[in-house]
Amino acid sequence: MMISTLGVGLQYNPALAAWFPFREQALDVMEILFDSIMAPLDGPQLMWPDAAETLDSAATQCALVGHSNYGGDFGFDPLETTSAVRRHVPLAKRFRVPWVTNHCFYSDASWANVWSSPLQFSKAEVARVAERARNLQEIYGVCLGHENAAYYRSCPGSNMPEEEFLARVIERSGTYLHLDLHNLFANSINHVASGYSIERFLSTIPLDRIIAIHLAGGRSLDGLYHDLHDTAVPKPVWELLDNVLSRSRPRAVILEYESHLLFEDGKKLDHARSVDLVLADLECARRAWDHAYGAKSRRTTREEAA
């Protein structure tokens, strides 16, 4: 499949909509979090009406891509009954996104808010998940990339490393990867005792199948590091970004924030400082992208030049 190169952007999360000036940004791409805009499955509507208005307006300024956290994509319900197929697929078609990415979680309708339930990294699940992924990509009709999760415990029954599981799934399904660098960072802290290795992860996954990258921040609480999306992107994650951009060719780098206001050094910031923090991270991501591929490879810069 031919995949457009977009550049650097933000995830559209309703938690930010009230305070972050989305409309004033020259974003290359905005990632729609389908879970947060879809209407309930037992109603007649596809999405919340205010989301349609906001995203239709955003589509005039930047490219839109789709993301699913809790579509039941990899659960055990029949695929056609999941919110992935009943809501996310029509949303992807409605906004004509060039790709969709989905989280490697188990979830079904009753688990919609469980965070986080990693897949079982086993041979049996490679076969089942790959078949489901292939079918779902076909239903979407666009590239589907799977996001590596941050998790606190491995799923019982796991008997292979996460990176090997992802590599085997993608090899069988013909789908793609969505690499979340903050999830990698979080796992490397929380699973240090079990020998988790970022370098081994990166040298095992098929780097040429990375469709997009997520960047985020988080905090340590009660002895665990959490992927809370409520701080600036940490320095080691920026270093990882440079590393991965030099070894692969993702089509977008997307920042994720998910809080009513952000934190710095454990303290909640005010509105102005939270906005500044997001803008500074966006600028830093653009610098990394431009250093690796040149500014003209980003969508907005290409359009300005045209």
Distance CA 92, CA 98 (A): 9
What is the phi-psi region of residue 294: left when phi exceeds 0, alpha when psi lies from -120 to 50, beta otherwise?
Answer: left
What residues pair up with 28 in beta bridges, in sequence order?
A: none
Q: Is 132 in the site for Fe ion (CB under 5 A)?
A: no
- Segment contacting Fe ion by CB under 5 A, of 22-30, 93-101, 162-170, 208-216: 208-216
Helix (H) or strand (E) holding 144: strand 143-147
Distance in Å, CB of 101 to Fe ion, minimum:
8
- Segment contacting Fe ion by CB under 5 A, of 1-9, 17-25, 41-49, 206-214: 206-214
- Segment contacting Fe ion by CB under 5 A, of 21-29, 56-64, 118-126, 174-182: 174-182
Question: Residues touching Fe ion: how many (CB under 5 A)?
Answer: 2
Distance in Å, CB of 79 to Fe ion, minimum:
23
What residues pair up with 143 in beta bridges, in sequence order?
A: 99
- Segment contacting Fe ion by CB under 5 A, of 157-165, 173-181, 262-270, 276-284: 173-181
Buried b (16+ CB within 10 A) or exposed e, 216-255: bbbeeeeeebbbbbbbbbbeebbebbeebbeebebbbbbb
15 vs 39 by CB, closer to Fe ion:
15
Site for Fe ion in 6-65 (CB under 5 A): none
Distance CA 210, CA 103 (A): 14
Q: Is 214 in the site for Fe ion (CB under 5 A)?
A: yes
Distance CA 102, CA 175 (A): 11
Positive or negative torsion for Cα 265, 270, 271, 272: negative
Structure tokens at 204: 């095992």
127 vs 224 by CB, closer to Fe ion:
224
75 vs 217 by CB, closer to Fe ion:
217
Please tell me the number of Cα atoms within 13 Å of 3 on its side-chain side. Answer: 23
Distance in Å, CB of 302 to Fe ion, minimum:
26
Q: Is 180 in the site for Fe ion (CB under 5 A)?
A: yes
Distance in Å, CB of 294 to Fe ion, minimum:
26
Residue ranges binding Fe ion (CB under 5 A): 180, 214
